[in-house]
Structure formats: C-alpha cells, structure tokens
Amino acid sequence: MEKITTAPFSHNNTTDATGKNGSLYHEHAELRQSLNIMSLIVYCLAFVLGVLGNGVVIWVTGFKMKKTVNTVWFLNLALADFLFTAFLPLSVTYTAMDFHWPFGNFTCKLNSTISFLNMFASVYILVVISVDRCVSVVWPVWTRNHRSVRKASFVSLGVWVLALILSAPYFIFRDTGPSHDNNDIINCFNNFAFSDDYETPSVNQLRQFRNQALTITRFLLGFVVPFTVIVSCYAVIIHRLRRNRTLASQSSRPFKIIAAVITTFFLCWAPYHIMALIDLVNHMNNYTCETLEHVTTIGVPIATSLAFLNSCLNPLLYVFMGQDFKDKVRKSILNVLETAFQEEVTGSHTYTKSVDTSQSTGKSVSTEV
C-alpha cells in the first residue's frame, strides 16, 4: 500500500510510493486529505485510550490480581497493545506533517516492526488462549494436573519470539528517503529492493516478488492459519458445552469475554488484510486499475485506523463484560487513594486502622479476568 496514506502499515509497491507511477495520487488529493484527518483523530483516540486502558490492565493483572494462567494470557495481550499504542505519537506526527518522517531511519524501521509485532503477538496469544480453553474443556483432569503459571509464562515467551521472527522482515525492508515530488519531504516506506533504481526491470521484479511474498505470508500466518485454529477450537468447545450444561454454566462468563476479544480482533483486522490483498493484485505486472485504486484510496486509511483501534478496545471489553476485573480495578484505585490520603493525616490512628482493614479485605481476588 502506498506509504503516503498508511504510516506504519505500509506495504507499497515502492514505485507508486515514490511517485514514479503515482498519477492517480493527485486525482484523489482532496479525498486523501479528509481521510488523513480522520486517521489523525483515530490515532489520537487509540493512543489515549490504549495507553491508559492497557496500562490499567497491566497494573491489575501484573500486580494486583493473583497470578493465574488466565492473568498471564491477558497480561501479555495488554503488553502487546500497550507497546503498540505507546509508539502511536510517531504515526500521529508523520500524518500531521503531511507524511514527512523527521525521526531517522532506525526509528522508521522500529515503528513499523512494533506495529507488526503487536499484530502477530496479539493473534498468537489469542490462538494460545483458544487452545488453552479447548484443552481445559475437553481434558479437564489433565488440565488440572499440568496447567500452571510457569508453563503459561514459557508459552507466552515463545509467542513473543515467534512474533519477533515474523516481524523481522519489516525492520529489514523499511527505509527512509526523499519524496519524488519534494526532496525536503522524507518518507518512511518499504524498500524491497534496497535500491532507488526504478528503471531496471530485474530490480522492479525483485521488488514486486518480495512485496508479494511478504503480503501473502502475513495474510496466511497473521490471519488465515491463526483464525482457522481459533475457529476449530471454539467449534470443539461449543460442541462439548452443549453436551454438558454444568460445564457450560461454569464457563459462561470467561467464554463470552474471550469470544468477544477474538471477534473484535477479527472484525478490526479482516478489512486490513483484504485491503492489502486488493492493493497487491492492483499493482501486479506494473498495471493499476483505476477502480481498485479508488477502492484502496478510501479503504486503506479506514482499514488501518480500524486495526489501530483494536489495541484500545480490549480493556473496554474487560470492564464492560468482566465483573471480577471491574471490581478489582475499583478496589485497587480506592486503595491507592486511601494510601495517598493516609499520608496527609499521619497522626490519625483510626484512619490507619481503616486503611489496614480495607487493604486486607482487598486481598480476595478472582482467578478470572
């Protein structure tokens, strides 16, 4: 996709990105400007809600709740989203400066890598959660004997290593260079040929091949394969729960929360992958279809913004659907306020006692998010 419109999530054919083959860009200039304003608003919203919301989830699941397998999963999911949203000011600045990248080549590479690290880490954590739920329902006795926080932590580490490997190409291929229209404007884009030669056919073929390979690999390993596993796990879970009503009543709330998180991820990321494939098809064989170009011009910023929003939605789902999580957040915040007030009334023995009481009662923690 053209780097001009999509800050970290850029999969462009670099010929278009540098303006060498970008005659359609000027025809859509006004529309792009409106979409960029929309993107800025969404990025800012995702940053504020994502940093605050995921920060609270990390605080509660990491420091306030009893360590369980479930809290390990949700802690890692929140870490992936927090890391991504913390870097969003770079994308906000890039978009606001009319796609001029002032942060240098390394930060350009890092920003894109963090974006895809979030995508791969999130989807594979959801795969692990789904497999974990499936195994817990199908083999409950085996699960009680072998499921532990230590093993969950090792699995989570494995997910991060896998996500880092899958994200590495975006660090390698990301590059900075002057815009074709204005040498004072520095763009952050995918340079699949490590070259500014757009004339030699063999170089352009290499560029196109790597772009196709990366887009298709991302679609398969970042979407098709994970969601095939997830859907299969939940098909097994639903089949088993229908046969066991007692188990169904016990699993109802955590099942609904996890299902909501997975559904939200699917709805937020499906348009992005579809737009990436459309853009790939549109730029094959150095030919662009005006209709598809118009579709991607509108669709890419919207799909990218939707993908960005996903990183701030999970905390909202936990609060609205997870009563235990909501109660723990409320108690934790109250304890913080009580501690702050206690420091101002040092001489009051009565108040100290009440704080101690509230802190001791705050130790009762549910094991489900």
The pLDDT assigned to 332 comes to: 65
Instruction: Kindly report the number of other CB atoms within 10 A of residue 200's CB atom.
Output: 11
CATH superfamily of 14-321: Rhodopsin 7-helix transmembrane proteins (1.20.1070.10)
- Phi/psi for 304 (5° steps) reads -65, -40
- pTM of model > 0.85: no
Tell the residue number behind the tokens 């799909």, with chain if given. 303
- Phi/psi for 367 (5° steps) reads -90, 0
The pLDDT assigned to 344 comes to: 40
| Contact call for residues 39 and 302 (beta carbons, < 8 A) | no
The pLDDT assigned to 324 comes to: 63
| Contact call for residues 185 and 166 (beta carbons, < 8 A) | no
| Cβ-proximal residues to 29 (8 Å cutoff; 6+ apart), any chain | none
> Which of 128, 132, 150, 152 has the alpha carbon at shortest distance from 140?
132
User: Hey, which bits of the chain come out as E strands?
Assistant: 174-178, 186-190
The series of mean pLDDT values per 10 residues for the chain, 369 residues long, is: 47 39 58 88 94 90 85 93 95 92 95 95 94 89 90 96 96 91 87 86 89 94 94 87 63 71 91 92 73 85 92 81 64 58 43 41 40
Domain coordinates in residue numbering, the chain? 14-321, 329-369
Structure tokens at 363: 């130790």
- Burial string for 336-349 (b: 16+ CB within 10 Å, else e) reads eebeeeeeeeeeee
- Phi/psi for 197 (5° steps) reads -90, 115
The pLDDT assigned to 339 comes to: 54
Instruction: Kindly report the number of other CB atoms within 10 A of residue 198's CB atom.
Output: 16
- Burial string for 102-139 (b: 16+ CB within 10 Å, else e) reads eeeeebbbbbbbbbbbbbbbbbbbbbbbbebbbbbbee
The pLDDT assigned to 320 comes to: 67
Give dist(CA 294, CA 165) in Å, integer.
34
Angle at 317 between CA 312 and CA 320, to 5 degrees: 130
